[in-house]
Amino acid sequence: MSKLSVETEYDKAVEAVATSITDCESRKTWHICDERDCVSCEIKKYRDNCINNFADVDKLRVYNRVQALLASQPVPIDPDKYAKGSDAFKIKARYLAKELGSIIGTAAAIILIPLCIICIPGSCIAKLPAQSIKDYDYSRYALPSEAGYAGKYRKQILDTLDRTKQYVTDVNKDGEINCIDYSCTFKMIWDKMYEASNCEIVRNKSGTMNHLFIRTRQYAGRSWECIEPQVATKDITKYFMEDFWPPNVYNPVYNIYGETEVWLKEVKQ
């Protein structure tokens, strides 16, 4: 099989997965489906298996394609124009239910909140428990192709990037603050907060690059993702090495692994 035909097959796979994700996201937006439907959806299971086998750069291509496809969708949808049969009925029924729920909820709040303020002693209010970290909604940090629980891992990366930006210094005392300092700082911060075995320092040595950066994974057994620790971002899609280095500069073939402790020793000396 020629190189061109291989690339074409990859392009077809990326397009098929992106189209499937877009369809699912649209159906949830239009209230044809909800999260309960996702649990038993066979298509979602097949699609997740495909995504898990994609390289990081292909996952980014899928995400960017999904964003483009979603941007072309009409919002809000006109069920009479864009949906047919049972789907159109579901859209109308769920929109109506949503509006009724909002009206009932607002009315209940207007009635009950003053009663609660009047009837509940202040001492009881002071003892109400704080929200548990287990109840925190991490789903907002997950990529569109991921389950909501993956958002906790994405937030760990963002939090560590933010702390790295705040606390990075010339850790190896060479008179510069560069990729060595950022990578070592990221690693040391990560190890204090999360599982150390899920974060490593990586070196890329080629004719176009001599650079340190980070790779992380969600947990043992999951694929590694290469991250540029010098970025300062709140966007979960914009911290991958491929986002900042063009293919003619960064080639992961030249990544060198297993040197984490070597670089940390320079900092500890």
What's the distance, Cα to Cα, between the start and end of the chain in Å? Answer: 52
Residue where a domain stops, chosen among 71, 94, 111: 71
Same domain, 248 and 165: yes
Q: Using an 8 Å Cβ cutoff, are 212 and 203 in contact? A: yes
> Is there a domain that residue 165 lies in?
yes
pLDDT band at 125 (very low <50, low <70, confident <90, very high): very low
* Full residue range of the structural domain in which residue 66 is found: 3-71
pLDDT band for 35, please (50, 70, 90 cuts): low
Is residue 3 scored above 50 in pLDDT? Answer: no
Read off the pLDDT of each residue in 163-184 and give the average, rounded to a whole number. 92
Spatial separation of the C-alpha atoms in residues 190 and 260, rounded to whole Å: 13
- Full-model pTM: 0.51
Report if residue 120 sits inside a domain: yes
Average pLDDT, the chain: 77
Q: Which residue has the higher pLDDT, 163 or 232?
A: 163
Q: Do residues 35 and 56 both lie within one domain?
A: yes
Q: Which residue has the higher pLDDT, 232 or 208?
A: 208
Average pLDDT over residues 84-92: 61
Average pLDDT rounded to a whole number, residues 94-120: 65
- Among 92, 126, 160, where does a domain finish? 126
Question: Which of 173, 249, 248 is CA-nearest to residue 213?
Answer: 249
94 lies in the same domain as 206? no
Query: Is 70 exceeded by the pLDDT of residue 113?
Result: no
**Do 64 and 144 fall into the same domain?**
no
**167 and 86, same structural domain?**
no
Residues 88 and 59 in one domain: no
Task: Please give the average per-residue pLDDT across 46-73, as a whole number.
Answer: 76
How much is the average pLDDT of 13-28? 79
Which of 72-81, 101-110, 121-130 shows the lowest mean pLDDT across its residues? 121-130
Categorize the per-residue pLDDT at 118 as very low, low, confident or very high, splitting at 50, 70 and 90: low
Residues 224 and 162 in one domain: yes
Q: What's the pLDDT score for residue 269? A: 57
Q: What is the Cα–Cα distance from 223 to 52, expressed in whole angstroms? A: 8
In a domain, 164, yes or no: yes
| Res. 50: pLDDT tops 50 | yes
Phi, psi angles (nearest 5°) of residue 212? -105, 145
132, part of any domain: no
CA distance 156 to 147: 16
